[in-house]
């Protein structure tokens, strides 16, 4: 019913000449009179302009959702969300005013998309933003847990090489899933890590304990699926366009500046 009403509204707009104000009471009364006397006009307009009407509906719906999301972010930014960040791999300026925390899975296609978008965001904001990766491997994703173990283990040896491993894993996500550990060892060697030492470190109790802590944080935040992000205290779900991540960063910066 709501969709039919919206379609009618857009159809009415199509009736109104572009050089006439839609708010003119006389025009409104005239259109209503025409439709009462000729109800088939509305259906004909919709049929003849169906693509335009549907596009307008989708655009309006998308803008409404984004507006609601931004309003929620402005509330979220003031609500502290404590997650463990010690001993995690950090990319960027450690003293940056904005921290982006990812809850992500190396085998998730949406996480892959978001990873490249976040790299662009980091390049744009420079020292203003730092990025922290928290592992949230889903049980249903093959090789996800082991990939997380390799990343954490790599960070224990060399943070810079761990981030190279991170980039390689996401850039070759499908190969990672298909080949599993043999591929992980190839990547380890490529970025300058000892594959056998890394494989051994990946299976240590401390590495797995850190991943469990990440997953416990995700559960406490009631996260479902991947990826999720915290931009300071703003909780973001999914792989969004770059401009929306930027909007979250700006909201976080504005809040920090007003403290």
pLDDT score recorded for residue 66: 81
pTM, whole model, 2 decimals?
0.75
Question: Are 172 and 207 part of one and the same domain?
Answer: yes
Q: 82 lies in a domain?
A: no
Compute the distance between CA of residue 134 and CA of residue 210 in angstroms, rounded to an integer. Answer: 9
Helix (H) or strand (E) holding 105: none
Least confident range of 45-54, 137-146, 183-192: 45-54
Last residue of a domain, one of 34, 52, 76: 76
Range of the domain at 14: 2-76
Give residue-wise pLDDT tens across range 217-226: 999 999 999 9
* Sign of the alpha-carbon dihedral angle for 73, 75, 81, 87: positive
Question: Are 203 and 96 part of one and the same domain?
Answer: yes
- CATH number of the domain at 161, please: 3.40.30.10
How do strand 98-104 and strand 129-135 relate by DSSP bridges? parallel
Question: Are 17 and 106 part of one and the same domain?
Answer: no
Question: Are 43 and 21 part of one and the same domain?
Answer: yes
Give residue-wise pLDDT tens across range 68-96: 889 999 999 999 999 999 999 999 999 99
Question: Are 69 and 149 part of one and the same domain?
Answer: no
Give the contacts of 242 (CB within 8 A, at least 6 positions apart).
117, 120, 121
Given a cut of 60, is residue 57 above it in pLDDT? no
What is the number of structural domains in the chain?
2
Helix (H) or strand (E) holding 102: strand 98-104
Question: Are 37 and 153 part of one and the same domain?
Answer: no
Given a cut of 90, is residue 244 above it in pLDDT? yes
Given a cut of 70, is residue 145 above it in pLDDT? yes
pLDDT score recorded for residue 42: 58
């Amino acid at each position: 019913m709501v969709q039919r009403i919206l379609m009618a509204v857009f159809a009415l707009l199509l009736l109104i000449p572009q050089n006439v104000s839609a708010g003119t009471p006389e025009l409104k009364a005239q259109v209503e009179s025409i439709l009462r006397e000729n109800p088939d006009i509305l259906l004909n307009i919709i049929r003849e302009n169906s693509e335009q009407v549907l596009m307008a509906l989708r655009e309006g719906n998308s803008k409404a959702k984004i507006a609601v999301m931004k309003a929620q972010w402005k509330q979220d930014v003031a609500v502290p969300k404590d997650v463990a960040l010690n001993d995690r791999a950090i990319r960027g300026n450690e003293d940056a005013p904005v921290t982006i925390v990812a809850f992500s899975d190396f085998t998730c296609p949406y996480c892959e998309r978001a990873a490249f978008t976040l790299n662009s965001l980091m390049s744009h904001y420079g020292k203003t933003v730092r990025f922290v990766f928290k592992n949230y491997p889903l049980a249903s994703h093959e090789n996800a847990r082991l990939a997380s173990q390799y990343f954490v283990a790599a960070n224990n040896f060399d943070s810079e090489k761990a981030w190279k491993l991170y980039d390689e894993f996401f850039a070759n996500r499908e190969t990672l899933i298909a080949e599993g550990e043999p591929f992980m060892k190839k990547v380890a060697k490529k970025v300058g890590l000892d594959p056998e030492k890394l494989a051994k470190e990946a299976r240590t109790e401390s590495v797995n304990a850190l991943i469990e802590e990440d997953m416990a944080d995700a559960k406490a935040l009631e996260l479902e699926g991947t990826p999720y992000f915290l931009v300071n205290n703003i909780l973001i779900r999914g792989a969004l366009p770059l401009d929306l991540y930027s909007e979250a960063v700006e909201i976080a910066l504005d809040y920090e500046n007003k403290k």
